[in-house]
Structure 1
Amino acid sequence: MKTMIQNATNLPSIPKVVQELIASLNNPNFSSNQVGQIIANDQAIAAKVLRIANSVRYGGHRKVGSIKDAVVVMGIDALRTLVFAIGFTSNIKAPAGFDISAFWLRSFKMANRSKWLAKLLNADTELAYTCGLLHAIGEYLIHVAKPEQAILIDTRVNTGESRSRLERELLGFDYTQAGSELAEHWHFPTEIVQAIRWQENPLAAPELSRYAACVHMAHYMTDHEKHIAAANFDDFPVKLAHALNIKLSDAFSTLQNAPNLDEGIEELLH
């Protein structure tokens, strides 16, 4: 798989600002001034940050004229997360046959749910968001490196077949393995690498990752919206909740009382 990544000559490069901010996730002493300076060094990303920071959702009636102002209005964590979203959506271009709009829509839904679930799972919210945002990056890599097989897999997934099972059957690996290898290639933190790798079965990991659990439960929320609304939790990952020492009553109540988690996604997609 490492060879596949090295031979994928059209893989996107991750902006320096995103790499530096992702590295800062594990640094509790990273200051708002440092975050602001890193963002200000990338004019294209800074301009889009200011546009979104001045939207009704963030700025309201207060004019945000600088990245320093954006830090004050949005807070360091929300600003850093916004830069991740802008950096990835701006640099990852669609290969032939790849529905990039659907990819990012699903990714942002997963990111928002992972972030919201992080409090229930006692995980860092911004790391959880990033894990959710990048959960399917392996699917993108497969489209870049093996486009014909990827399009065939997409066609069969649209008829109801399992993506990961098809990928293992046709390629010998699935999107979680490809994605974790790519995250490692990009020198992302171990938490992100492990979350991507074990998102479909967190209990199979050598060590249980709360971030993999966040993404797994975000999958559950995304795929079972109608069941949750009807208080039908037959498919809920009960064993995972027990392993995390989460009371089922707390989990069910949290899921049923989730707010609108898709607000603001359209701004990030355009």
Structure 2
Amino acid sequence: MSMATIFAETQQLPHIPRVVQELIESFRNEDVDVDELSSKVALDQSLTAKVLRLANSAHYGVSRTIANPHDAIMLLGFNTLRTMVLASGMTSAFKAPDNFDMKTFWRDSFAVGALSKWLANYVDGCDRETAFTCGMLHSVGELLIRMVMPKEARHIDEALSMGGTRHTLERGQLGFTSADVGAELAKRWKFPAEMQQAILEQNNPDLDRTYSALAGILHIAQYLNKAHKDGLDEEAILAKFPKAVADAIGMNCDKAYADLADSNDLSSGLEGLLE
């Protein structure tokens, strides 16, 4: 099955609400009408319920109850509301593949998003919210492959258990990777070109190919996420830190290294979507 065939399977492709699509398009628009968008969010009762549950969680520590999306913007900011709505839309858009732990998948995606946002602090000119969204979406291509090509995905999982990297195994067995699929999905959802590029190029540092600053951030964020899950201490993390990637994207490594302990206790605040 070719990558084109995946996107021909329209019944299985994830669909997102119109207001989520408009929020995606707001990444390109500096003059977005936040009142209008908050009103549109309020029209979707399911989205609103999820957003308000998140906004009133202990993670955000607001001083009063947030009763509607407009309150969320006033108290938390438009970027935070947008992230909440995007995360809600994305987690609802995908049907869980058989025998696949979707909660673990999205927790992992949110963790990479939070680490990407943290890393963006150390790269001049890199927008933190854009970095978070890229991190949150970095593996959606893998999820789509699992939905449309379950047998092939299982074969890749089995091969991965014996060693190697997912993107190398995907390239060998499928002729394309989940990064390719994720970038195409981001294109169809009309995410900005820089986000599409970041998702597409996230594995390029392993392949000695050129990559954008956002792609480099995704690569490092995935390294840190795995290191934290593996329980590595700070010395072990620094010993194998992808410094060549960090240097290539102009990261302030000295400052990032000094703050490294902070990266081990990050929370996206979005985990409530999975309850």
Alignment TM-score, normalising by the size of structure 1? 0.90
1:243 matches 2:248: yes
Residue in 2 aligned with 1:233? 238
* CA deviation after TM superposition for structure 1 residue 151, in Å: 1.4
Does structure 1 conserve the Cα–Cα contact (< 8 Å) formed by 2:142 and 2:182?
yes
Distance 1:247 1:211, change over 3 A: closer
* CA deviation after TM superposition for structure 1 residue 258, in Å: 2.9
* CA deviation after TM superposition for structure 1 residue 104, in Å: 0.7
CA–CA distance in structure 2, aligned partners of residues 108 and 134 of structure 1:
9
Residue in 1 aligned with 2:92? 90
Residue in 1 aligned with 2:52? 50
Does structure 2 conserve the Cα–Cα contact (< 8 Å) formed by 1:50 and 1:67?
yes
Deviation digits for residues 146-182 of structure 1 (CA, Å, limit 9, x no counterpart):
1101012123324443211111111111111111112
Residue in 2 aligned with 1:41? 43
Residue in 2 aligned with 1:146? 149
Unmatched tracts of structure 1, length 5 or more:
none
One-letter amino acid of the structure 2 residue matched with residue 37 of structure 1? S
One-letter amino acid of the structure 1 residue matched with residue 20 of structure 2? V
Distance 1:17 1:176, change over 3 A: same
Q: Work out which of the residue numbers 135, 155, 159 in structure 2 matches 1:156.
A: 159
Does structure 1 conserve the Cα–Cα contact (< 8 Å) formed by 2:25 and 2:191?
yes
* CA deviation after TM superposition for structure 1 residue 28, in Å: 1.8
CA–CA distance in structure 2, aligned partners of residues 167 and 30 of structure 1:
39
User: Larger deviation: 252-261 or 61-70?
Assistant: 252-261
Residue in 2 aligned with 1:113? 115
CA–CA distance in structure 2, aligned partners of residues 70 and 265 of structure 1:
14
CA–CA distance in structure 1, aligned partners of residues 232 and 57 of structure 2:
34
* CA deviation after TM superposition for structure 1 residue 67, in Å: 1.5
* CA deviation after TM superposition for structure 1 residue 8, in Å: 4.6
Paired residues for 1:64-75 under 5 Å: 64-75=66-77
Distance 1:43 1:160, change over 3 A: same
1:165 matches 2:168: yes
CA–CA distance in structure 2, aligned partners of residues 159 and 100 of structure 1:
23
Distance 1:146 1:118, change over 3 A: same
* CA deviation after TM superposition for structure 1 residue 51, in Å: 2.0
Distance 1:38 1:126, change over 3 A: farther
Does structure 2 conserve the Cα–Cα contact (< 8 Å) formed by 1:14 and 1:88?
yes
Distance 1:238 1:56, change over 3 A: closer
One-letter amino acid of the structure 2 residue matched with residue 142 of structure 1? I
One-letter amino acid of the structure 2 residue matched with residue 128 of structure 1? A
Deviation digits for residues 97-127 of structure 1 (CA, Å, limit 9, x no counterpart):
3321221111011111111111212311111
Residue in 2 aligned with 1:5? 7
Does structure 2 conserve the Cα–Cα contact (< 8 Å) formed by 1:20 and 1:38?
no
* CA deviation after TM superposition for structure 1 residue 210, in Å: 1.9
* CA deviation after TM superposition for structure 1 residue 33, in Å: 1.5
Alignment TM-score, normalising by the size of structure 2? 0.89
4+ residue segments displaced more than 4 Å: 202-206
Does structure 1 conserve the Cα–Cα contact (< 8 Å) formed by 2:227 and 2:237?
no
SS at match of 2:12: coil
Using the aligned pairs only, state the percent identity.
Answer: 41
CA–CA distance in structure 2, aligned partners of residues 98 and 231 of structure 1:
31
User: Larger deviation: 69-78 or 218-227?
Assistant: 218-227
One-letter amino acid of the structure 2 residue matched with residue 237 of structure 1? P
Deviation digits for residues 182-220 of structure 1 (CA, Å, limit 9, x no counterpart):
2112222111211111111258555x4221122111112
- RMSD over aligned Cα, in angstroms? 2.1
One-letter amino acid of the structure 2 residue matched with residue 16 of structure 1? R
Q: Which has the higher contact order (CA 8 A, sep 6+)?
A: 2
CA–CA distance in structure 1, aligned partners of residues 214 and 168 of structure 2:
22
Aligned residues: 269
Unmatched tracts of structure 2, length 5 or more:
none
One-letter amino acid of the structure 1 residue matched with residue 263 of structure 2? A
Paired residues for 1:195-214 under 5 Å: 195-202=198-205, 208-214=211-217
Residue in 2 aligned with 1:130? 133
Deviation digits for residues 120-148 of structure 1 (CA, Å, limit 9, x no counterpart):
12311111111011100110111122110
CA–CA distance in structure 1, aligned partners of residues 132 and 119 of structure 2:
10
